[in-house]
Structure 1
Amino acid sequence: MFDRLKSLAGLAVVVCTMAFLAPSLAAAQSDPLPSWNDTAPKAAIVAFVKKVTTDGTPDFVPEPERVAVFDNDGTLWTEHPMYVQLAFALDRVKAEAPNHPEWKTTQPFKAVLEGDMKALAASGEKGLVELIMATHAGMSVDEFQKTVTDWITAARDPRFKKLYTELVYQPMLELLSYLRANGFKTFIVSGGGIEMMRPWTERVYGVPPEQVVGSSIKTQFEMKDGAPMLFRLPQVNFIDDKAGKPVGINEHIGRRPIAAFGNSDGDLEMLQWTTLAPGARFGLIVHHTDAEREYAYDRDTEFGRLDKALDAAAVNHWTVVDMKNDWKRIFPWN
């Protein structure tokens, strides 16, 4: 009898405790975007999601058509002081230099080995393509994936001293989860290399490799020692940037998105392709305005220039996120 009374008493305490905590728990669970301040961008996101997911209304969109596309660099993770893939290429040049003594006297490799960023910048797009071809090709797809995985799990950003995969934006992680919880399929559509991203996007963003669209180099099928393999060639296959993004979306996804998220002029055509069409549409630009917690830049930068797209945002009624004022925190750890 005593044990039964003791159990009933304990149950009463639990029930009372749950009743006391219920309002605070409900409040916590009711906010799907806790790292966003209660400003216009958050309200616009929530209103759009409600509009396209409310059955029986004119703006309802069936789940298979709820496609959202996200740029990566500067939209989901940091892109300053340089694109992460460029940092990877520079490290690969240094690692492979002993096998290429000619690089000591050949640009743009000489500039990389000497740390001469001015000379590297002067090499322009042609020089960057040379670096990418030298460091991303000449191996199998599996070998490249291992190289990327080994690097991304060890390389650290020079300012924050964090792994690059720790420099993802907490508000955008919440947005990805919020959209998926409401029947959206989320895709990454980036100017970065498709096989540079695929080894880690599912772990970091919850976006599986088949939902990653990016730039690519040519590959060819070969048999080596009786085993099939895909070999990466030093030739550009596709550039998934600017006007290439809608093309990549059409080829890889096969559906026109109803929501697009970017941060630079490289995303302009993707935002136009997504939003300038009939039906409920949503476009959002992440504007880097927080020099203290991250970086502040827009029209005057080599990485992630936001100029034409910022002007277009006002004309096309896209939502612009002011990182400093609209986000409570930027990275998961701060």
Structure 2
Amino acid sequence: MRRVTHLITSVVFWICASSAYAQSDPLPSWNDGGTKNSIVDFVARVTTPGGADFVTPAERIAVFDNDGTLWCEQPIYFQAAFALDRVKALAAQHPEWKQQQPFKAFLSGDRKALGEQGEKGLLTLVAAAHSGMTTDDFATSVADWLASAKHPRFNRPYNELIYQPMVELLTYLRANGFKTFIVSGGGVEFMRVWAEKAYGIPPEQVVGSTGVTKYQLDATGKPSLLKTAKVQFIDDGPGKPVGINMIIGRRPIFAFGNSDGDLQMLQWTAAGTGTRFMGLVRHTDAEREYAYDRQSKIGKLDKALDEATAKGWQVVDMKKDWKAVFPLKMKE
């Protein structure tokens, strides 16, 4: 009887201990192992008062790329999908597009002709979708699109395709006194519409590419900002450290990306004094998401992967390191 009682007590203790661990685990969607341990260890070192690596809260700046780092980016960047859908919606107001390239090729479904237009053609389509309206109207159009558009593979709203492990990481960092920022090549006004709800990152902590806006007054004297087709700043590649310096004003101690477009941001973070964390998300899970890196036209990870390997930066293997990819409500 005593042995049975002891066994029951042991089982109850194990269940309670397991439950407590699950509740205390700040990164439940991350598999136990080196990657998760490196994150937890770094946070512990920089937040322990009196420790050799302690960093004051004011200096705990963490920056994250968005496309391919915080949410999916395949088969095309989601902002490009928005722009193309918007061009279709605006086509009735622009009959001249039926005879103008690249609009003619896109609207007629002529992929060969559209491909011949190259990157310049795509930028022309994006500019048409993003300009000629006020910033308030643009925000409304983004919100409306997110409420109706579905990803072609997963058949879910695009803003459901955020990475659950990275959302947990953002929350974990903020709970430990970090200030989290998005630093992305995507359009800043596109991201600010939904980033706070998705990631807990407010609009003022989103750094992205920007277009020129023009202040204007309507007939009643009401002011607005009109979006133009002129590019003001590209927050990608070497532009990312520039954007960080211009908008944030502090060098990060923690940075995450997923592609060669993030290399300079990681280098800039690593070049600071004291302990640093540089991470890359590597897409290795074709079943739950996508598998791509060096040869991909979207989110190419080549030079940054070589430098991460050479310098000991943390590389997240999506297939091995993540228990889940998307939030639980998303069927994987």
TM-score (norm 2): 0.92
2:119 maps to 1:136:
no
1:293 Cα offset (Å): 0.6
2:192 maps to 1:198:
yes
Aligned position for 1:61: 55
Equivalent positions of 1:133-172 (< 5 A) are 133-172=127-166
Aligned position for 2:4: none
Aligned position for 1:125: 119
Gaps of 5+ in 2: 1-11
Indicate if the aligned counterparts of 1:93 and 1:112 stay in contact, CA closer than 8 A.
no
> Is the alpha carbon distance of 1:197 and 1:321 closer, same or farther for their aligned partners in structure 2, counting shifts above 3 Å?
same
Residue of structure 1 aligned with 2:297, choices 291, 299, 302: 302
Indicate if the aligned counterparts of 1:192 and 1:215 stay in contact, CA closer than 8 A.
yes
Residue of structure 1 aligned with 2:70, choices 73, 76, 79: 76
Q: How far apart, CA to CA, are the structure 1 residues paired with 2:253 and 2:267?
A: 11
Aligned position for 2:95: 101
Q: Which moved more, 1:174-183 or 1:95-104?
A: 95-104
Residue type at the aligned position of 1:81: P
> Is the alpha carbon distance of 1:285 and 1:116 closer, same or farther for their aligned partners in structure 2, counting shifts above 3 Å?
farther
Aligned position for 1:269: 264
Map Cα deviations across residues 281-309 of structure 1 (whole Å, 9 max, x no partner): 00000000010110000011111000111
Indicate if the aligned counterparts of 2:66 and 2:183 stay in contact, CA closer than 8 A.
yes
Residue of structure 1 aligned with 2:234, choices 232, 239, 263: 239
TM-score (norm 1): 0.92
Map Cα deviations across residues 145-179 of structure 1 (whole Å, 9 max, x no partner): 10111111211100000000111111101101110
- SS of 2:27's equivalent in the other structure is coil
Indicate if the aligned counterparts of 1:262 and 1:286 stay in contact, CA closer than 8 A.
yes
Residue type at the aligned position of 2:225: L
Map Cα deviations across residues 264-291 of structure 1 (whole Å, 9 max, x no partner): 0110000100112211100000000010
Percent identity over paired residues: 62
2:17 maps to 1:23:
yes
Q: How far apart, CA to CA, are the structure 2 residues paired with 1:22 and 1:29?
A: 10
Q: How far apart, CA to CA, are the structure 1 residues paired with 2:274 and 2:289?
A: 35
1:201 Cα offset (Å): 0.5
- SS of 2:292's equivalent in the other structure is coil
> Is the alpha carbon distance of 1:203 and 1:227 closer, same or farther for their aligned partners in structure 2, counting shifts above 3 Å?
same
1:228 Cα offset (Å): 1.1
RMSD of aligned Cα (Å): 1.5
> Is the alpha carbon distance of 1:220 and 1:60 closer, same or farther for their aligned partners in structure 2, counting shifts above 3 Å?
same
Aligned position for 1:173: 167
Equivalent positions of 1:284-303 (< 5 A) are 284-303=279-298
Equivalent positions of 1:33-72 (< 5 A) are 33-72=27-66
Q: Which moved more, 1:158-167 or 1:224-233?
A: 224-233
Gaps of 5+ in 1: 1-17
1:40 Cα offset (Å): 1.4
Q: Which moved more, 1:116-125 or 1:316-325?
A: 116-125
- SS of 1:153's equivalent in the other structure is helix
Indicate if the aligned counterparts of 2:212 and 2:231 stay in contact, CA closer than 8 A.
yes
1:118 Cα offset (Å): 4.2
Q: How far apart, CA to CA, are the structure 1 residues paired with 2:322 and 2:102?
A: 39
Aligned position for 2:108: 114
Residue type at the aligned position of 2:240: K
Q: How far apart, CA to CA, are the structure 1 residues paired with 2:234 and 2:224?
A: 24
1:22 Cα offset (Å): 4.4
Residue type at the aligned position of 1:162: R
Q: How far apart, CA to CA, are the structure 1 residues paired with 2:239 and 2:205?
A: 17
1:25 Cα offset (Å): 3.3
Q: How far apart, CA to CA, are the structure 1 residues paired with 2:113 and 2:36?
A: 43
Residue of structure 2 aligned with 1:216, choices 182, 205, 210: 210
Aligned position for 1:15: none
Q: How far apart, CA to CA, are the structure 2 residues paired with 1:323 and 1:20?
A: 30
